[in-house]
Amino acid sequence: MLSRQFQTLRHLQKSTTTTHLLQLQALILKTALDRDEFFISKFIQSSSSVSIEFTRLFFDSLLPLDPPPPIFAFNTIIREYSKSSSPLESVKLFSQLQRVGLKPDKFTYPFVLKSCGWCSVIGVGGAVHSLVVKMGFDSDRYVGNTLLRMYSGCGTIGFARQVFDEMCERDVVSWSSMIAGYVACNCPLDALMVFQSMKLVNQNPNSVTLVSLLSACTRLLNIRIGTSIHSHVIVNNIKLDVALGTALLEMYSKCGRIEVALQVFSSLEEKNLQSWTIMISGVADHGRGEDAISLFTQMEENGLKPDSLSFSGILSACSHLGLVEEGKRYFDQMVNTYGIKPTMEHYGCMIDMLGRAGMIEEAYRVIKSMPMEPNSVILRSFIGASKNHGEVNCLDENLRKLLLQIEPDLGGNYVLAACVSSVSENWNDVASLRDAMKGRRLKKAPGCSWVEVNSASSGEIIQPAVG
DNA sequence: CTAGGGTTAG
């Protein structure tokens, strides 16, 4: 029997089509392997990489059996669905297993909760949470940690925090998940405060924790804490893997230390698409367009395929450096060679680039060719360029109106609109400008509400003081 | 005879 299983599984490894899989299914039925719990799970696991749909058909054919498929088989297919493009199927299977009289175990919950977080279905996730508590699985660390992630994946960080606070034991994963959750919902200061508590209970951060902390520093533009994390890495001999290295070079780059970022970048043993892209955007943001182009070429030579964000970096470099021909070439390459659909940001770079170069008509043609309505950044850039190049007379009035319509609360837009409006209109009249803005509350620039603490003993990760 | 949780660009 064992050799038969082995043989069938080896066939499975070679299977690439559903026809092969159907032949295998016939074989399984003939040899009664569908009664073998161990085999079924292995089969589900391997065949779902070929086709999850087929795997489901196979699994459904087992459902009417008596006894029903073992919980292990359910867990396996639920896990496979949580990794697939239709994670909601794992939720359906979760209720189905209860309908055939089986009880979810401590492995079932993490898989189904992962799907809930992925699909952002807080309703289902909450229901599963109640079940977790009712069945007494809330003391399981894995279950607790996936609950936390489910809530933060659903954008409900308060619930995530509540799960975290009520956990009876927290490990480094719980702390890292909580910190990552705060970073993801754009509360980097809360992330640092969680880390402060983490130090108080003597829980050591690992490299995953540090990646999230660096991300928090990047958002706060806090080079001091970022640097202290770097020294912690060096003092504690923590390996600079791709994730940590990329987070570190991003922190330096976004905080204006482009030279240090380049140093970290070149010291990385392994670089992935993200490392290259962040480095390219970094030098581009520092006005070093030639370096961006050279890095982009090196990246392609290293066999990496640029994605949508890589092109954002290189296009913004072209725009800042006024490299119109290169920019057009990259845009064309993106669409025609790599088949990437341009986003608002890509169009923004092109329009900005053409506008700065005084190619107003061509920039206008790009706006008209966009499949979506231009956003305020693009409109401001284009209207500003028209003004700077003295081409306000042929400006499309609709674009000017559109800007005030989609972003009526930004005062500067009225100034810009007034500058490019024809004299016959009354935008230049202060009274009517005030009238147009009546009742509008203008946006204030965000301020920094906290003060740094100055204590940089090496290896010690410093903390912000909350003001 | 088997399985589970956390990380990076906007």
CB contact set of A85 (below 8 Å; sequence gap of 6+): none
pLDDT band at A422 (very low <50, low <70, confident <90, very high): low
Q: What is the per-residue pLDDT for A33?
A: 84
Bond into A408 cis (ω within 30): no
Q: Is the confidence at residue A11, as pLDDT, over 80?
A: no
**Cross-strand partners of A452:** A464
Q: Is the confidence at residue A426, as pLDDT, over 60?
A: no
* Closest residue (Cα, C1') to B2: A38
pLDDT band at A172 (very low <50, low <70, confident <90, very high): very high
Most confident of A23-27, A54-58, A440-444: A54-58
A221 φ/ψ angles, rounded to the nearest 5 degrees: 55, 40
For residues A32 and A49, give the distance between their C-alpha atoms in angstroms, rounded to a whole number.
23
* Closest residue (Cα, C1') to B1: A38
The whole-number average pLDDT for the span A449-465 is 54
How many CA atoms, within 13 angstroms, populate the side-chain half-sphere of residue A296?
28
CB contact set of A336 (below 8 Å; sequence gap of 6+): none
Q: How far is the CA of A109 from the C1' of B9 (A)?
A: 32
The whole-number average pLDDT for the span A204-221 is 97
Q: Is the confidence at residue A450, as pLDDT, over 50?
A: no
Q: How far is the CA of A278 from the C1' of B6 (A)?
A: 22
Q: What is the per-residue pLDDT for A394?
A: 73
How many CA atoms, within 13 angstroms, populate the side-chain half-sphere of residue A266?
6
Q: CA-based Rg of chain A, rounded to a whole angstrom?
A: 28
More confident call, A427 vs A349: A349
Which residue, among A161, A119, A156, has the nearest Cα to A144 in the 3D structure?
A161
For residues A234 and A323, give the distance between their C-alpha atoms in angstroms, rounded to a whole number.
40
pLDDT single digits (tens) A13-51: 666 676 777 777 788 878 888 888 889 999 999 899 888
Other CB atoms within a 10 A radius of the CB of residue A342 amount to 22
More confident call, A101 vs A438: A101
Give the closest nucleotide to A137 (alpha carbon vs C1').
B4
Q: How far is the CA of A273 from the C1' of B7 (A)?
A: 16
* Closest residue (Cα, C1') to B10: A309
The whole-number average pLDDT for the span A368-393 is 91
H-type alpha helices, A136-206? 141-153, 157-166, 172-184, 188-200
Most confident of A39-53, A235-249, A391-405: A235-249
For chain A, helix (H) and strand (E) counts, in that order, are 26, 2
pTM of the model: 0.84
Which residue, among A146, A176, A184, has the nearest Cα to A163 in the 3D structure?
A146
Which residue, among A354, A347, A405, has the nearest Cα to A384 in the 3D structure?
A354
- List chain B nucleotides near protein: any atom < 7 Å from a Cβ: 1-10
Distances (CA, A) of A31 to A13, A26, A198: 19, 9, 55
Q: How far is the CA of A408 from the C1' of B6 (A)?
A: 41
Distances (CA, A) of A283 to A115, A309, A318: 38, 14, 12
Q: Is the confidence at residue A433, as pLDDT, over 80?
A: no
pLDDT band at A421 (very low <50, low <70, confident <90, very high): low
pLDDT band at A467 (very low <50, low <70, confident <90, very high): very low
pLDDT band at A110 (very low <50, low <70, confident <90, very high): very high
Q: What is the per-residue pLDDT for A441?
A: 43
The whole-number average pLDDT for the span A228-241 is 96
CB burial of residue A443 (10 Å; 0-12, 13-18, 19+): exposed
Q: Which two tokens mark A317?
A: 């470099």
The whole-number average pLDDT for the span A249-262 is 97
Among A6-15, A96-105, A222-231, which stretch is predicted with the lowest mean pLDDT?
A6-15
For residues A429 and A423, give the distance between their C-alpha atoms in angstroms, rounded to a whole number.
10
CB contact set of A79 (below 8 Å; sequence gap of 6+): A90, A111
Q: Taking all residues of chain A, what is their mean pLDDT, rounded to a whole number?
A: 88
Q: What is the per-residue pLDDT for A444?
A: 36
CB contact set of A11 (below 8 Å; sequence gap of 6+): A20, A24, A27
Among A2-6, A221-225, A253-257, which stretch is predicted with the lowest mean pLDDT?
A2-6
Contact predicate A211/A179, CB 8 Å: no
- End-to-end CA distance of chain A: give it in Å, rounded: 70
Q: What is the per-residue pLDDT for A405?
A: 87
Q: How far is the CA of A248 from the C1' of B7 (A)?
A: 12
A452 φ/ψ angles, rounded to the nearest 5 degrees: -80, 150
Q: Is the confidence at residue A456, as pLDDT, over 80?
A: no
Q: What is the per-residue pLDDT for A15?
A: 62
Give the closest nucleotide to A247 (alpha carbon vs C1').
B8
pLDDT over 90 for what percent of chain A? Answer: 70
Q: How far is the CA of A191 from the C1' of B7 (A)?
A: 14
Give the closest nucleotide to A145 (alpha carbon vs C1').
B5
Give the closest nucleotide to A214 (alpha carbon vs C1').
B8
pLDDT single digits (tens) A59-90: 999 998 888 899 999 999 999 999 999 999 99
